[in-house]
Amino acid sequence: MQSYALTVDKFLDHAAKWRGEREVVTAGGGRISYAALRERSNLLSGALAHLGLEFGDRLATLAWNTQHHLELYYATMGAGLVCHTLNPRLPPAQLAAMVNEAEDEVIAVAANLSPLLDEILPLCPGLRGVILMDGGEVGEGRPAVDTWTLEALLESHGRAVTWGDFAEETPAGLCYTSGTTGRPKGVLYTHRSNYLHTLRALQADAIALTGEDSLLVAVPMFHANGWGLPFAAPAVGAKLVLPGRQADGASLTELMRREGVTIAAGVQTVWLGVVEHLDATGGDLPDLKRVLIGGSSCPEALIRRLEDRLGARVQTSWGMTELSPVGVIAPPNAPAGAQRASGRPPMGLDLKLTGADGIALPQQRGVVGHLKVKGASVVDRYFKADADVLDEEGYFDTGDLARLDEAGNLTLCGRSKDLIKSGGEWINPADIEDIVGRHPQVVQAAVIARQHPRWGERPVLIVEALPGADLDPRELIDALRGQVADWQLPDLVIQVAAMPLAATGKIDKNRLRADYGTEGAAGDGARLGEPRPDDAPGS
């Protein structure tokens, strides 16, 4: 058989040749065909070579979901460079540390992120070039750094180059974890891993994207390959709709209506904003068929609300930066009762549950265990690490607790590090969050540990309610009675106006612990008293 390297440039080549007229649309007026985008991206590869970037060098991007960002994805990867996507919601010092560890030589920056760039540059002596995207202009103040606008660079030095003339194991992208479980760690994707991840995501029981779809990518392209959708859309020639920086409900609703979006992907807070906008203004989204959500577990009541108001099917999913990132996803036609699960693993990813000792549980269905994964798009070792992070069978420990039902549907049961040890016994916050999340007036729920002089730790329940709702703490506790042990009931219920979110859109439990994890911490709540002696943990 032919030797045909699995390199990601082939996705855009395919789209340009066979679906060349299909469009990539950016909010604010940008509109380009796949054929034209492929030509610009290839010329941009030649322009990057003019800047002195050579095979294997790394280019950082600090940008939103735009045409220019997509062009840089393919211009770097197609030429054998590494595209290092940075999260602009992180603090400058943290971004600079990533740039320095990655040894990035050039950084491409969205025009409206220039102030952030100016904070990063003094901390990154290895950066020798800046590309301003999305209409930016070269200004004063960066004399030590060669600065270009993307259009000027293309016009002056763009030239056609050969794409994909290297091994499929060549590194293609670099993304850092969110740091919610410690210091952010780099995950270096290869062309092969991205290619196989794309084929896995496109399966009929997964994202099931087709060339007739109009896909809105509201998940940031700087976060774990944008869920792989910048590869999946051109792979099938789907229309690709990019929202830029504007991810509010009003902006997304108008964009989705105008571009006839049939499938939309993003974290649940994005779709909550769309629903609230529709409730306030009326109207609907007649073309929308499916909404893909990931990030934090989505409460059942919120799923029902989204489906009822959007008139679309909600597909739940779970993934990690280390998985490229799709892990499991609910099939498009999954029974409604299965929606509380995150989904099933598409072909190409294997799962196993182990005990705390790392030994596989003899019974894999209907029990809670530590979730480990294995596959062609799963991390082997972190960027610049000395050793791999796999067990003796080649599985990666996700740090999650999970359960598999008899049909193979995965339900996350919380992070192992989030378990609360009270009186020598463990409390799983995810069990409480799942039950409270079913309350029709609860938007999001989180449970954290609070220090306690007698029991060591006690659970605190923090909830965000629907706009205008004033939740009764006793009602929430009553909903838990009989479903968890009395000694596991939270001592305190705190209602917040808005749940704090981490840079990836997930609930920021580190922030919640800082605000509410100690006696005398900020926030008001309804104190529900000490557990009775006969209800004490371990009794």
Same domain, 144 and 279: yes
Same domain, 475 and 337: no
**Cβ 256 vs Cβ 281: under 8 Å:** no
> Which of 46 and 528 is assigned the larger pLDDT?
46
What is the pLDDT confidence band of residue 537, given thresholds at 50, 70 and 90?
very low
H or E element, residue 17? helix 9-18
Residue 352 appears among annotated catalytic residues: no
Residue 421 appears among annotated catalytic residues: yes
pLDDT at 534 over 60: no
Which residue among 343, 373, 402 closes a domain? 402
> Does residue 327 belong to any structural domain of this protein?
yes
pLDDT at 137 over 90: no
* Residue range of the domain that includes 459: 419-535
Phi, psi for 129 (deg, rounded to 5): -150, 145
What is the pLDDT confidence band of residue 317, given thresholds at 50, 70 and 90?
very high
The letter for the amino acid at 201 is A
Same domain, 201 and 257: yes
Provide the pLDDT for residue 139. 61
Residue 322 appears among annotated catalytic residues: yes
Same domain, 29 and 71: yes
pLDDT at 78 over 50: yes
The one catalytic residue among 76, 149, 177, 198: 177
Q: Which two tokens stand for residue 109?
A: 């920056």
Provide the pLDDT for residue 203. 98
Angle at 153 between CA 152 and CA 157, to 5 degrees: 120
The pLDDT of 494-500, averaged and rounded, is: 92
Report the distance separating Cα 298 and Cα 315, nearest Å: 10
**Cβ 326 vs Cβ 200: under 8 Å:** yes
Residue 404, classed as helix, strand or coil, is strand
Assign residue 525 the CATH number of its domain.
3.30.300.30
> Does residue 409 belong to any structural domain of this protein?
no
The one catalytic residue among 17, 384, 417, 421: 421
pLDDT single digits (tens) 290-301 = 999 986 667 777
First to last CA, the chain: 67
Which residue among 402, 435, 459 closes a domain? 402
**Cβ 257 vs Cβ 288: under 8 Å:** no
Provide the pLDDT for residue 518. 82
The pLDDT of 411-432, averaged and rounded, is: 83
> Which of 454 and 207 is assigned the larger pLDDT?
207
Q: What is the pTM of this model?
A: 0.84
Can you tell me which residue has the tokens 């699995």?
Answer: 6
Provide the pLDDT for residue 70. 98
Report percent pLDDT > 70 for the chain: 92
Query: What is the tally of structural domains in the chain?
Result: 2
pLDDT single digits (tens) 209-256 = 999 999 999 999 999 999 999 999 999 999 999 999 999 999 999 999
Provide the pLDDT for residue 442. 92
pLDDT at 381 over 60: yes
Provide the pLDDT for residue 334. 78
What is the pLDDT confidence band of residue 528, given thresholds at 50, 70 and 90?
very low
pLDDT single digits (tens) 355-376 = 989 999 999 999 999 999 999 9
CA nearest 94: which of 184, 182, 173, 174? 184
> Does residue 414 belong to any structural domain of this protein?
no
Same domain, 365 and 447: no
Same domain, 175 and 256: yes
> What average pLDDT does the chain have?
90
> How would you class 407 by CB atoms within 10 Å of its CB: exposed for 0-12, middle for 13-18, buried for 19 or more?
exposed
> Does residue 413 belong to any structural domain of this protein?
no
Instruction: Measure Cα distances from 454 to 296, 422, 451, 458, 521 in Å.
Output: 31, 9, 9, 10, 18
Which residue among 370, 402, 434 closes a domain? 402
Lowest average pLDDT, out of 60-69, 320-329, 441-450, 528-537, goes to: 528-537
Residue 21 appears among annotated catalytic residues: no
Lowest average pLDDT, out of 180-184, 379-383, 406-410, 430-434, goes to: 180-184
> Does residue 382 belong to any structural domain of this protein?
yes
What is the pLDDT confidence band of residue 508, given thresholds at 50, 70 and 90?
confident
Lowest average pLDDT, out of 38-42, 215-219, 532-536, goes to: 532-536
CA nearest 434: which of 418, 403, 413, 459? 413
> Does residue 4 belong to any structural domain of this protein?
no
The pLDDT of 72-77, averaged and rounded, is: 98
Report the distance separating Cα 132 and Cα 112, nearest Å: 10
Provide the pLDDT for residue 85. 98
Provide the pLDDT for residue 529. 42
The pLDDT of 181-189, averaged and rounded, is: 83
Report the distance separating Cα 55 and Cα 43, nearest Å: 16
The pLDDT of 80-90, averaged and rounded, is: 95
pLDDT at 31 over 60: yes
Q: Where are the beta strands (DSSP E) in 405-473?
A: 410-415, 420-422, 425-427, 442-452, 456-465
pLDDT at 530 over 80: no
β-partners of residue 316 are 293
> Does residue 207 belong to any structural domain of this protein?
yes
Can you tell me which residue has the tokens 């996700």?
Answer: 398
Lowest average pLDDT, out of 119-128, 443-452, 526-535, goes to: 526-535
Same domain, 506 and 447: yes
What is the pLDDT confidence band of residue 521, given thresholds at 50, 70 and 90?
low
Same domain, 325 and 462: no
> Which of 469 and 536 is assigned the larger pLDDT?
469
The pLDDT of 110-129, averaged and rounded, is: 94
Report the distance separating Cα 240 and Cα 219, nearest Å: 13
Report the distance separating Cα 491 and Cα 357, nearest Å: 31
Q: Which strands sit side by side in the sheet containing 410-415, from one edge to the other?
A: 349-354, 368-375, 396-404, 410-415
Cα 438 from chain centre: 24
The pLDDT of 159-181, averaged and rounded, is: 90
pLDDT at 34 over 50: yes
The pLDDT of 397-412, averaged and rounded, is: 92
**Cβ 55 vs Cβ 66: under 8 Å:** no
The one catalytic residue among 71, 168, 300, 322: 322
Provide the pLDDT for residue 336. 60
Same domain, 292 and 153: yes
Helices (H), 481-528: 509-516
Provide the pLDDT for residue 536. 42
Report the distance separating Cα 361 and Cα 525, nearest Å: 40
The one catalytic residue among 426, 475, 518, 530: 426
What is the pLDDT confidence band of residue 412, given thresholds at 50, 70 and 90?
confident
Instruction: Measure Cα distances from 417 to 184, 250, 361, 454, 522 in Å.
Output: 16, 37, 20, 21, 23
Same domain, 208 and 259: yes
Same domain, 457 and 308: no
> Does residue 264 belong to any structural domain of this protein?
yes
pLDDT single digits (tens) 460-492 = 999 999 888 889 999 999 999 988 888 889 999
Can you tell me which residue has the tokens 């779809």?
Answer: 213
Same domain, 307 and 396: yes
Instruction: Measure Cα distances from 80 to 9, 35, 55, 513 in Å.
Output: 10, 21, 5, 43
pLDDT at 204 over 80: yes
